[in-house]
Amino acid sequence: MKRIFIIASFLSVFLLAGAQESYVMYETMYMKPKADKLEEFNDALTKHNKEFHAEGASKVFIRYVINGDHAGEYVWVMGPTTWTDLDNRPDDKAHTDDWNEVLPYLDEVSEVEYWRMSNELSYFPEGYTGSSKIHVRTWDVKPGKRDEVKKVLEQVTAVYKETKDKNPWMIYYNQFQTGNGRDISAVAGFEKWAEFDEESTWEKDFEKVHGEGSWDMAMEFMRENTTMKEEVRELVPELSGTSSLR
């Protein structure tokens, strides 16, 4: 009995510590507007976000998807927030009625998700305030391989930190498993498309930090144990409720 009590006490302390830990989370969803109602959609969404999602944990910014499965759609991003904050999000009649003014101009809302950032695996350059464009990689991880994938991501983050990269690298974990194959996301911010024309030194930098052959080993593991999809998103400030990205 004493042993059970000790274990229970330990778990209580552990869970309490976890609950009190500071963290960053975002609510996201894809929005596909009706092709012949873009102007009406833009006007209704702008009005809604400026009135109800301009500040605090419920602030929203909108990104346009350039490529990938959701190309041509918009991404609603609310936060940074927490589960507790969600209990206080706008949900009164005025908010609901106004949101109902947006819905008629949408063909579809999909992939409503909650993404929690890993502080340990993320990197921000000094003075970072947000990125107008982001390159998003999302992985479907094979069962039982999440810890090993984390080790690879730790290696990538170490290179960002060692090279003091000018752009951020953020890792997010999907908080619900819905069978959609979207388990972990890496978000790399950038400002200019011209960066894709720059000669990459990534493999060399990776092996300088982790040893010869380490890059090929890491990539082989990821190919065998994950499936990745990519998309690029660009900020649409005029549709957003806020100009603050953090």
Q: Which tens digits make up the pLDDT trace of 51-61?
A: 999 999 999 99
Q: Is residue 16 part of a domain?
A: no
Domains of the chain: total: 1
Q: Is residue 14 part of a domain?
A: no
Segment 192-205 mean pLDDT:
94
Q: Is residue 12 part of a domain?
A: no
What integer pLDDT is reported at residue 122 of this predicted model? 97
Task: Please compute Rg for the chain using Cα positions.
Answer: 20
> What tokens were used for 150?
């984390």
Q: Is residue 111 part of a domain?
A: yes
**Residue 11 CB coordination number (10 Å):** 10
Least confident of 9-18, 109-118, 143-152, 219-228: 9-18
On whether the CB atoms of residues 164 and 125 are closer than 8 A, the answer is yes
Q: Give me the domain span that covers residue 183.
A: 23-239
Q: Mean of the per-residue pLDDT values for the chain? A: 91
Q: Is residue 9 part of a domain?
A: no
Q: Has residue 63 got a pLDDT over 70?
A: yes
Q: Is residue 106 part of a domain?
A: yes
Task: Provide the CATH number for the domain around residue 141.
Answer: 3.30.70.100
Q: Has residue 9 got a pLDDT over 90?
A: no
What integer pLDDT is reported at residue 161 of this predicted model? 97
Confidence of residue 17 (pLDDT cuts 50, 70, 90): very low
What integer pLDDT is reported at residue 22 of this predicted model? 85
On whether the CB atoms of residues 227 and 140 are closer than 8 A, the answer is yes
> What tokens were used for 225?
């144990």
- What's the pTM? 0.88
Q: Is residue 1 part of a domain?
A: no
Confidence of residue 93 (pLDDT cuts 50, 70, 90): very high
